[in-house]
A and B are shown apart, each in its own frame.
Chain A
Amino acid sequence: MTESTWMRRVLIGIALAFLGLVLIVPLGTVFGGALEKGFANAFHEVQDPITGAAILLTLKMAAVVVPLNLIFGISAAWSIAKFDFFGKKILMTLIDLPFTVSPVVSGLIFVLLFGAQGLLGPWLAAHDIQVIFAIPGIIIATLFVTFPYVARELIPIMQAQGNDQEEAAVTMGANGWQTFYHVTLPNIRWGLIYGVILLNARAMGEFGAVSVVSGHVRGLTNTIPLHVEILYNEYNLVGAFCVASILAFLAIGTLIAKVLVKKQGEL
């Protein structure tokens, strides 16, 4: 009926060896590298003021990006899942687009739009507004890279749910907000949280796109991943891995949250 115990063990062994080499080794290297000079040193590294500035910038950036893309995601999912209209396929393709565009290209397009030689460059310079090589550029590039996450999670859930409950609520006199808040939201809540978790992880960890638009100014326009790169390029390996550990903890937290939410919502 099924494979012999021996065969099973060999297959499990090969699979685990592969995953160990590709997944566990890098993760272990991050924490091992951070602790090379001991716990006390690792804590000291993380408390560096420039690292602190990078963490603060990353948190601020996520605080802008996550709510904006959350609102967009809900709005896009509502219009796409609840209604039929011409061009829906094209709209969905456009929403998926950032997933297929290289992060570097995602950064480049905003340099072309807002940079000194870009379309809006002269106007921005005349009004003394700096977007590229400054924080607004980092926020906009991250918005671009992360905006599909919530919509992508919500659209299939809302489509599977159908419109019956919302139609009933509206017929009984609920307005749009009431219908969304009391009828739709409870049904999509776990999908929503799931999408936000993924969105947040990507926003805080994005490297390529942010690298193109950031000016790489220490303590000013460096997010955590960019700070890791600088430390690494300065041959401060322990420092780089200490800061990288923060992001690795974020990643592990994201994975655990994903599993918990998936169980709750049975997605």
Chain B
Amino acid sequence: MKDKSVIPGFGPTLGFTIFYLSILVVLPLSMLILKTTSLTWPAFWEAVASPRVLAAYRLSFGASLAAASINLVFGLLVAWVLVRYPFPGKGFIDMLIDLPFALPTAVAGIALTTAFSSGPIGRTLESMGINVAFTPLGIIVALTFIGLPFVVRTVQPVLKDLDRDVEEAAICLGANRWQTFINVILPVLLPAAFSGFAMAFARALGEYGSVVFIAGNLPMKTEITPLLIITKLEQYDYAGATAIATVMLFSSFAVLFLINRLSWWAHTQRSSKEAL
């Protein structure tokens, strides 16, 4: 691109963009920092590290990790099946993958809760002694729903672009199908799969709507971090809510940073493959 473009509109569009972002994003988010800094250190520590809050972090982190891991494994499988095998109804299934992005979280929440408590699946599991609704397991189910599209949608295009010649070469060199998958295909898919995993994890950490209905919301047991913020707000403990929100914000920044590194890794790996 040239230093001075002939295309008009740089000033007004950039100006408007920055103005809009400042009012809608920078100013409100800086309120979070402002309110947090009004707390003294001991008060901040009390707000973000009390036993009840620590239990909520543990639950949010653990359930998000579990759900993202389930989605990593099944996401790879679903992407593989959708790209490689023909079967009836494939177009419909492919379309349905995005349902968790399109279905409002509250709807997903009440539907999953009903399905896994009074629905046939819930009753069957209960007769086997497995309670899903109102337990941490229910939270994992909701977070699995919410994060399902990420791994599938990051892996699918990579798998589509994958050069079949490499697979054929591996077979010609005497590798069996499983060896080919583990040593040739999987390494190419992993960067994309892990960035999908990280996105699903980040989304799960902050998720609220689909979880509150199925979680049961018992302090120390099934209370997720976003719910704790709402509880503090309802008690007019604005400072406490803000302190926890700040911790959440910085953890999502950390995950975002990780995602960027992963997509950079995926990109360099793909371009180095192309260079060969």
A: residues with CB less than 8 A from B are 1-3, 8, 11-12, 14-16, 18-19, 21-27, 29-30, 33, 72, 75-76, 78-80, 82-85, 91, 94-98, 100-105, 108-113, 115, 117-119, 140, 143-144, 147, 163, 166-167, 170-171, 175-176, 179-180, 198, 201, 204-208, 211-212, 224-226, 228-229, 232, 237, 240-241, 244, 247-248, 250-252, 254-256, 258-259
- With A11-B80, A105-B245 as contacts: A21 and B121 at CB distance below 8 Å: yes
Find chain A residues with CB under 8 A from B85 CB: 8, 11-12
Q: Can you report 12 A-B residue pairs in the complex whose CB atoms are below 8 A from each other?
A: A22-B145, A30-B111, A72-B20, A75-B17, A83-B14, A85-B10, A91-B17, A91-B18, A101-B252, A176-B9, A180-B9, A205-B105
Candidates B8, B106, B256; contact of A170 at CB < 8 Å: B8
Q: Do B111 and A244 have beta carbons less than 8 Å apart?
A: yes
Residues of chain B touching chain A, judged by Cβ–Cβ distance below 8 Å, are 1, 5-10, 12-14, 16-18, 20-21, 24-29, 31-32, 34-35, 74, 77-78, 80-82, 84-85, 87, 91, 93, 95-108, 110-112, 114-115, 119, 121, 141, 144-145, 148, 168, 171, 177, 202, 205-209, 213, 226-227, 229-230, 233, 238, 241-242, 245, 248-249, 252-253, 255-256
A212 to B209 Cα, complex, angstroms: 11
Q: How far is the CA of A94 from the CA of B2 in the complex (A)?
A: 25
Residues of chain B within 8 A of A175, CB atoms compared:
8
Instruction: Report the separation of the CA atoms of residues A241 and B107 in the bound assembly, to the nearest whole angstrom.
Output: 8
Q: Are A201 and B102 neighbours in the complex by a CB distance under 8 Å?
A: yes
| One of B13, B28, B95, B112 near A144 (C-beta < 8 A) | B28
Contact B78 A102, beta carbon cutoff 8 Å: no
- B37 CB → nearest A CB, Å: 12
Contact B104 A100 (CB under 8 A): no
- Whether B245 lies near A14 (C-beta < 8 A) is no
**Are the CB atoms of A112 and B18 closer together than 8 Å?**
no
Bound CA–CA A251/B144 (angstroms): 18
Tell me which of A95, A176, A205 contacts B104 (CB under 8 A).
A205
**Contact B21 A91, beta carbon cutoff 8 Å:** yes
A95 to B256: give the CA distance in the assembly, Å: 13
Measured in the bound complex, the distance between the Cα atoms of B14 and A75 in whole Å is: 7
Other than A85-B14, A167-B7, give 13 A-B pairs with Cβ distance below 8 A: A8-B85, A26-B145, A27-B111, A72-B16, A76-B20, A79-B10, A100-B202, A108-B229, A109-B245, A112-B28, A176-B9, A205-B106, A225-B104
The answer on a CB contact under 8 Å between B32 and A112 is yes
**In-complex Cβ contact of A244 among B14, B93, B107 (8 A):** B107
Closest A residue to B167 by beta carbon equals A1
- With A97-B29, A103-B206, A167-B7: A251-B121 Cβ-Cβ less than 8 Å: no
Residue of chain A at shortest CB distance from B35: A112
| Chain A residues within 8 Å of B93, by CB | 16, 19
Q: CB distance A23 to B99 under 8 Å?
A: yes
Contact pick for B233, options A176, A212, A240, CB 8 Å: A212
Q: Which one of B81, B202, B242 contacts A112 once the chains associate, using CB atoms below 8 Å? A: B242
Indicate whether A109 sits within 8 Å of B148 (C-beta atoms), given known contacts A75-B17, A103-B226. no
Bound CA–CA A229/B111 (angstroms): 11
Instruction: Name the B residues within 8 Å of A105 (CB-CB).
Output: 32, 206, 226, 229, 245, 248-249
With both beta carbons as reference points, the residue of chain A lying nearest to B227 in the complex is identified as A104
Collect the chain B residues with CB atoms within 8 Å of residue A251's CB. 99, 102-104, 107
> Hey, which chain A residues are within 8 Å of B255, CB to CB?
100
Q: Which residues of B contact A143 (CB under 8 A)?
A: 24
| B112 in contact with A26 (CB, 8 Å) | yes
Q: How far is the CA of A147 from the CA of B105 in the complex (A)?
A: 18
Q: Find out whether the CB atom of A11 lies under 8 angstroms from the CB atom of B13.
A: no
Known contacts A84-B1, A111-B233: A207-B208 contact under CB 8 Å: yes
Specify which chain A residues have a CB less than 8 angstroms from the CB of B35 in the assembled complex.
Answer: 112
Most chain-B Cβ atoms within 10 A of its Cβ — which of A14, A109, A228?
Answer: A109
On whether the beta carbons of B25 and A94 are closer than 8 Å, the reply is yes
- State the CA gap A250–B102 with chains docked (Å): 8
Query: Which of A179, A244, A254 is most buried by chain B, counting CB atoms within 10 A of its CB?
Result: A244
Q: How far is the CB of B137 from chain A (nearest CB, A)?
A: 13
Which residues of A are found within 8 Å of B249, using beta-carbon distances? Answer: 101, 105
A contact residues around B80 at 8 Å (CB)? 11, 15
Contact B26 A94 (CB under 8 A): yes
Q: What chain B residues lie within 8 Å of A110 (beta carbons)?
A: 28
Q: Which residues of B contact A228 (CB under 8 A)?
A: 104, 106-107, 110
